[in-house]
């Protein structure tokens, strides 16, 4: 037997599934960028398909919640704010509605795209990112409503309003991190789709969306600070309305939570992805 034949016989090719961040197909996101845009546009169209009001729901949802909060918390609960309460709550509800919808939609994104996942290869991360990107359209529409309220009350946004996109990005990253974990869990445990909306409602009341942080009793201040959305909302409100202060600790908690959720969620998503097609 020749040396070449011996070498050829001894060569063994071992194929292993990618793990960690390599399994996410992050590098493929750019190659499949047109697919990501298509999925984002699909999510936007499906959201309001066969609805009477269409995209007006993006305005009605924060507007109606603002009315409820104004009646219950401002008129009955006597919560006072430095600016007119409708503007105070509406501006923050625009951000919270984007965040809550992003978490709800991303948590169900894997199951909702089951027919696509089981038929063709593409970076699965796309179906989780697309609801976060698509929700920005609703946020911009809601922000136009906030601009109308500012004009009505004669309120001019401060110069730091240019920093609003940074806090929207931070909220989107937290939503993405949660979506990576919840969408993977939802494949095996379909209870997730029912639990997430309920938990988001509780989280709304635990976050300073409809009330200023100053009304939180001192004994709950630690829990208030550890809420990852506290820093996001305080920073967003400071940027858009000029209301402060922004507590450094809360902001650090928000940034750290976003980083941990995105990184940890990506690793968990990658490991769970190996069995997605079989379980779905």
pLDDT band for position 19 (50/70/90)? low
* Whole-model pTM over 0.75: yes
Alpha carbons 152 and 139: distance in angstroms, whole number: 20
Local confidence band at 276 (pLDDT 50, 70, 90 cut-offs): low
Token pair of 38 as six digits: 């298509």
Cα torsion angle, 107, 99, 175, 227, sign: negative
Please report the pLDDT score of residue 36 as a whole number.
78
Structure tokens at 217: 């009793």
H runs (alpha helix) in the chain: 3-10, 26-31, 33-47, 57-69, 85-107, 109-112, 114-117, 125-153, 164-188, 192-206, 221-226, 228-241, 248-272, 276-279
């Amino acid at each position: 037997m020749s040396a070449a034949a011996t070498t050829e016989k001894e060569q063994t090719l071992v194929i292993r599934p990618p793990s960690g961040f390599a399994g996410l197909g992050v590098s493929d996101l750019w190659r499949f960028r047109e697919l990501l845009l298509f999925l984002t546009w699909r999510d936007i169209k499906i959201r309001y398909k066969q609805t009477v009001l269409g995209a007006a729901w993006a305005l009605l949802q924060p507007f109606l919640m603002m009315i409820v909060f104004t009646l219950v918390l401002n008129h009955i609960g006597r919560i006072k704010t430095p600016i007119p309460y409708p503007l105070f709550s509406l501006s923050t509800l625009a951000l919270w509605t984007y965040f809550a919808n992003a978490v709800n939609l991303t948590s169900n994104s894997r199951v909702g795209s089951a027919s696509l996942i089981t038929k063709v290869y593409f970076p699965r991360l796309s179906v989780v990112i697309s609801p976060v990107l698509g929700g920005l359209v609703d946020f911009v529409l809601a922000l136009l409503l906030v601009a109308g309220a500012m004009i009505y009350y004669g309120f001019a946004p401060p110069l730091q309003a240019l920093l609003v996109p940074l806090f929207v990005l931070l909220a989107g990253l937290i939503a993405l991190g949660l979506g990576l974990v919840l969408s993977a869990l939802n494949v095996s445990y379909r209870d997730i789709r029912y639990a997430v909306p309920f938990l988001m409602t509780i989280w709304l009341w635990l976050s300073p969306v409809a009330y200023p942080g100053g009304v939180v009793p001192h004994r709950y201040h630690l829990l208030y600070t550890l809420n990852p959305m506290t820093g996001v909302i305080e920073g967003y409100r400071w940027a858009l309305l000029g209301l402060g202060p922004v507590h450094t600790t809360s902001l650090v908690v928000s940034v750290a939570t976003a980083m941990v959720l995105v990184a940890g969620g990506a690793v968990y998503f990658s490991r769970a992805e190996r069995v997605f097609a079989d379980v779905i």
